Structure 1
Amino acid sequence: MKFLHTADWHLGYHFSQFSPQQNRELSRARIEMIYAMFNYARKNSIPLILAAGDQFEDGNTADKKLLLELFSILHQYPEIELIMIAGNHDPLIQDNIYYRVDRIHYPKNLTLVEDNSIFDRYEYGCKIYASSLKEKNGDFDPTGWIDDDEKDELKIALIHGSLAIEGKYNPEDFPILPDAAKKKKLDYLALGHWHSYYKHDEFTYYPGIPEMISFKDVGFVLEVHLQKGRVPSVKKIDGIRQYNWEVEKREIKEGDFESFVKKEVKPDPRRILKLILEGYLSIGNYKRLQEYLGMLEVSFYKLFVENNIIIKPADDEVARISSEGYMKNILTDLLEIKKGKKEFPLEASVDVDRSEIVDECLMKIYQFFKRNGN
């Protein structure tokens, strides 16, 4: 059999560092992501989608229009079944969004799991063990109720919680035994809660958050193929995510500044970029950098800049940081080498920019003294 494994849509998420208009666009992107997922399932004749919780950022305050929009998508894909559990962000408690819409409006191809449930899907040759959370925090293992028996059919579990791996979980995040798939004799353990894709073993996966909300977490929708007695075939699906959040680190020095600002940048209106800049520049080039970054903003949906560039001090300022002793002699020698009054003391390849090496030495000495209060 084959199905899609997804989780952590976080519909209704608010982006604090974006404008109201951008918030509306990014919220819409989460809906478009769901459309893309269902469209992929249709094109590839995949009849089943398992959603492992946290479909909503806050199940108590989410606008029910979001749930109705999900229903609208399901109505357009009647041949695809969605089995969905609630997670710790949208637990099944009073006033939850799932209870604010009468069940008569639920699409026939949607199964919202309310209690510990076993679904026999003879047409797929499987049993699905699924459980929704009913509280935001808990110290119990949500797989604890699943039997340890081997089945003739494929045995799948759909669960929301944290694998109890030292350093990777909170004891109140519904800790799951790391060997749960093996212990419960599962052919596949479909998990939700962690926002980054994570393969724990051949049978245990977190897909992560498919439409990103930060730079640190990257998730996917997973296409899963199962055959009894064999290791699952699991593939990350490309083309589902609507916006890409990326981090790019660049070290800039005087010698490569021109190539940095003249490098062609391909505009991408669906790219959210965090640019981290390190290095040092003269005051003149630093001002040019500021102008360049201002022009660069229009190339992306949103540009965040972490500017750690140090303005390069003038030679006389460097010379003043140490007025006596061996350090004064070192600085004097370096400054004379830089001005061409003294030979470079080491053998070096002709490809090496010796003035850049000297500048690097001067900057490191300067930074050391500044950090230590000189």
Structure 2
Amino acid sequence: MKFLHSADWQLGKPYGRFEPDIRAVLTEARFDAIDTLGKAAVELGIVHILVAGDIFDNEGPEDRTIVQAVSRMGRHNVKWWLLPGNHDFARNGGLWNRVRQRAEDGITILSDATPYEIDSGIWLLPAPLVHRHNLEDPTAQFDGMETPGATLRIGLAHGSIRDFGSQGETKNQIAPDRVRRSRLDYLALGDWHGVLKVDQRTWYAGTPETDRFQRDEPGHALVVDLATGREPEVTPLRTGRFIWLRREWLVNDLAAFDAENDRLLAAVDPAVVLLQLTLSGITGLSDRIAMLRHLEDDLAHRLRYLDVRADNLVGRPSDDDLATLAVEGMLGAAAAKLAAGIDAEGQDATLAKRALERLFVEYSREERP
């Protein structure tokens, strides 16, 4: 059989760091990903979509979030299997009762560790989380699950197959050899937000819509083709709309900056790019100001979002810069003193650099006769 493996939708994610217009479009993209999954399944002749936890970003989403999720899933002639994760764990009387009140026939909430025969001889073994952080391996119960006449056993879980450090949950640890221990043909996991192959039969699908500056690839789901007696065929399927990029540009003059800018715009669709840009290098003060102005006045308007980090881009005043200020009397004397201070080490040099840049910026803004 073929099925789609997805996870970590995190519907209702607040995106608090962004302005309201950006928050709105990123929020809507997560709902749109449901339609993308449903349409892809129908086109591929797939009946089942397994979602390995964190369908919602928290256990108390707004009613609109629940209604949008249920209605989007209901548009498509597929079966949705939803597993509670650590963000939306299955506590009594909580979120999932609210979802059940609105869910249609094609949606099954796997809030109990009960196996389901989803097709003849094909069993789904769920490991829902009942707390945000569980000390026990949530998949240990797979060992004792009875699946009469099973030709395929598919595990569905949410947690860390290994310690992901600061970029993933460190609770809800799953045994790395769970497939062997529990005689699984495939283990569909959620929690890690990118596609990750643990072994041939154990995969993370990642989030269908990327949500952080962590990787360049857009969101994916996995098309899984299972058959008795052979290893799974797993194919990533692009589902994400937005691309979150991290870039570091080493630029020592305006020409190098322009070249990097041109390369970026030639490689992407700016309207779907969120960029975290770090600038470093030693350049002329006037060039540094020109670079930052270009980013603020042009690139920021082309991209969906731009976050510039320029603390390591040192703007040293050129002889021409200093000569321009030197004729300004006390202003020129202050510029010369600050320029000398830049060569010193420590906090004073940093303050001198910023003060001289501000002095030059304000001077440049004045209308000259």
TM-score norm. by structure 2 comes to 0.79
Q: Is the 8 A contact 1:139 1:171 kept in 2?
A: no
Q: Is the 8 A contact 1:121 1:127 kept in 2?
A: yes
Q: Is the 8 A contact 2:159 2:191 kept in 1?
A: yes
Query: Which residue of 2 is the match for residue 304 of structure 1?
Result: 307
**Are 2:85 and 1:82 equivalent residues in the alignment?**
no
Q: Letter of the aligned partner of 2:68 in structure 1?
A: E
Partners of 1:147 and 1:261 lie apart in 2 by 54
Q: Is the 8 A contact 1:54 1:89 kept in 2?
A: yes
Partners of 1:303 and 1:166 lie apart in 2 by 27
Partners of 2:93 and 2:295 lie apart in 1 by 46
Aligned residue for 2:125, secondary structure, equals: strand
1:75 Cα deviation from its structure 2 partner: 2.3
| Larger CA deviation: 212-221 vs 256-265 | 256-265
* Structure exhibiting the larger radius of gyration computed from Cα positions: 1
1:163 Cα deviation from its structure 2 partner: 1.1
Q: Which of 107, 112, 115 is 2:112 aligned to?
A: 115
Partners of 1:286 and 1:221 lie apart in 2 by 42
1:306 Cα deviation from its structure 2 partner: 1.4
- Considering fraction of residues, name the structure with more helix: 2
Partners of 2:276 and 2:168 lie apart in 1 by 29
1:252 Cα deviation from its structure 2 partner: 0.5
Distance 1:278 1:3, change over 3 A: same
Distance 1:48 1:254, change over 3 A: same
Partners of 1:203 and 1:168 lie apart in 2 by 26
Query: Which residue of 2 is the match for residue 284 of structure 1?
Result: 286
Aligned-residue sequence identity (percent) comes to 27
Structure 1, unmatched stretches of 5+, are 316-365
Partners of 1:252 and 1:261 lie apart in 2 by 8
Partners of 1:231 and 1:143 lie apart in 2 by 21
Structure 2, unmatched stretches of 5+, are 320-340, 350-369
**Are 2:115 and 1:140 equivalent residues in the alignment?**
no
Q: Letter of the aligned partner of 2:91 in structure 1?
A: I
Partners of 2:168 and 2:134 lie apart in 1 by 10
| Larger CA deviation: 263-272 vs 114-123 | 263-272
CA RMSD of aligned residues (A): 2.8
Q: Deviations over 1:122-172 (max 9, x none)?
A: 34x411101211111111011111127897511100011111458589896
**Are 2:43 and 1:56 equivalent residues in the alignment?**
no
Q: Is the 8 A contact 1:191 1:204 kept in 2?
A: yes
Q: Letter of the aligned partner of 1:145 in structure 2?
A: Q
Distance 1:140 1:367, change over 3 A: farther
Partners of 1:75 and 1:212 lie apart in 2 by 23
Partners of 1:22 and 1:373 lie apart in 2 by 38
1:368 Cα deviation from its structure 2 partner: 9.6
Partners of 1:30 and 1:233 lie apart in 2 by 27
Q: Is the 8 A contact 1:143 1:159 kept in 2?
A: yes
Aligned residue for 2:31, secondary structure, equals: helix
1:93 Cα deviation from its structure 2 partner: 1.6
Partners of 1:167 and 1:258 lie apart in 2 by 35
Q: Is the 8 A contact 2:286 2:315 kept in 1?
A: no
Distance 1:207 1:107, change over 3 A: same
Partners of 2:155 and 2:12 lie apart in 1 by 27
Q: Is the 8 A contact 1:261 1:292 kept in 2?
A: no
1:263 Cα deviation from its structure 2 partner: 2.7
Q: Which of 208, 211, 217 is 1:210 aligned to?
A: 208
Q: Is the 8 A contact 2:35 2:73 kept in 1?
A: no
Q: Letter of the aligned partner of 2:63 in structure 1?
A: K
1:258 Cα deviation from its structure 2 partner: 6.4
1:260 Cα deviation from its structure 2 partner: 2.8
Aligned residue for 2:281, secondary structure, equals: strand
Q: Is the 8 A contact 1:169 1:175 kept in 2?
A: no
1:114 Cα deviation from its structure 2 partner: 1.7
Q: Letter of the aligned partner of 1:312 in structure 2?
A: R
Q: Is the 8 A contact 1:138 1:172 kept in 2?
A: no
Partners of 2:249 and 2:43 lie apart in 1 by 40
Q: Letter of the aligned partner of 1:120 in structure 2?
A: E
Distance 1:373 1:225, change over 3 A: same
Partners of 2:233 and 2:302 lie apart in 1 by 38
1:92 Cα deviation from its structure 2 partner: 1.3
Partners of 2:235 and 2:86 lie apart in 1 by 26
